[in-house]
Amino acid sequence: MDFKNAKELLELSQSEKLMISEVMRQRELSETESSPEELYTKMERVLEIMKDSSSTPIHHPVASMGGLIGGEAKRLSLHEAAGMQLCGKVLHKAMTRAMAVLETNASMGLIVAAPTAGSAGIVPGLLLALQEVYGYSDEAMIQVLYNAGAIGYLAMRNATVAGAVGGCQAEVGIASAMASSAAVELLGGTPEQCLNAASTVLMNMLGLVCDPVGGLVEYPCQNRNAAGVANALIAAEMSLSGIPQLIPFDEMLDTMYAVGRRLPAELRETALGGCATAPSACARCRHH
């Protein structure tokens, strides 16, 4: 069940008549030599951590180590409770959860790096919002996490998920592609539609720079997790509606990687450019 790229993954899915998640699950079984029960228990723990990290700050806000974020998820939750939100239910809940995970991370809490700490809110944010609104079972969530894993695996194998190498497009971009693909499968889409959604996400986030204020994975990372969730949802909706993607995921991944390598060092997690050098950001760092 091994595959080197999205083209091989799609061919496997079609020839074996399996969803992407099941191809990835069977690959993991063969690679790790775990029993199906052991693998399920591990992914069950992943889901548990995702739930905790995306919900605790909503009820119990805590300031980040750098003092730049803290309490944003609760504010969004209160905004929703007051009936004030502009976004629909899924997007608002997904934004809230995504921002909560970044609060958990920045206050030294336990998270699942999916695929990185700086982009860890997007996969749980979107998938758990879909579960909350539509009532999907934990078993269904655990299964589609393998779909997200397949996209992350392809990015790791053929490009990068590091902001220091490819900018935020490689972190928030890949996380959003993972979430979008998994959401498409959860909502009954085909493997091809999953990969189309992942490709659309990367297209929409191409060139996004990594410019953490003070060199900390707090700001603007948290805001970009909320934006990444929105991008993932948009791409999933487009793909499920039958809109085709001109550029296959493999080519889009290559494009993202090429763009990332061309970004100047100042815009690749060095905190020497972008938001990190804005006067207000520098003043805030000096204050702390």
- Label residue 157 exposed, middle or buried (CB < 10 Å: 0-12, 13-18, 19+): exposed
pTM for this prediction: 0.97
Q: What percent of the chain has pLDDT over 90?
A: 96
User: What are the Cα distances from residue 130, in Å, to 92, 193, 196?
Assistant: 11, 18, 20
- Tens of pLDDT, residue by residue over 240-250, are 999 999 999 99
Q: What is the pLDDT of residues 57-86, one digit of tens each?
A: 999 999 999 999 999 999 999 999 999 889
Q: List, in sequence order, the alpha helices (H) in the chain.
A: 6-16, 20-32, 36-59, 72-81, 89-106, 122-134, 138-158, 163-166, 172-186, 191-204, 221-240, 249-262, 279-287
Question: Measured between alpha carbons, how far is 170 from 164 in angstroms, rounded to an integer?
Answer: 9
The span from the first CA to the last CA of the chain, in angstroms, equals 51
- Residue 287's pLDDT is what? 60
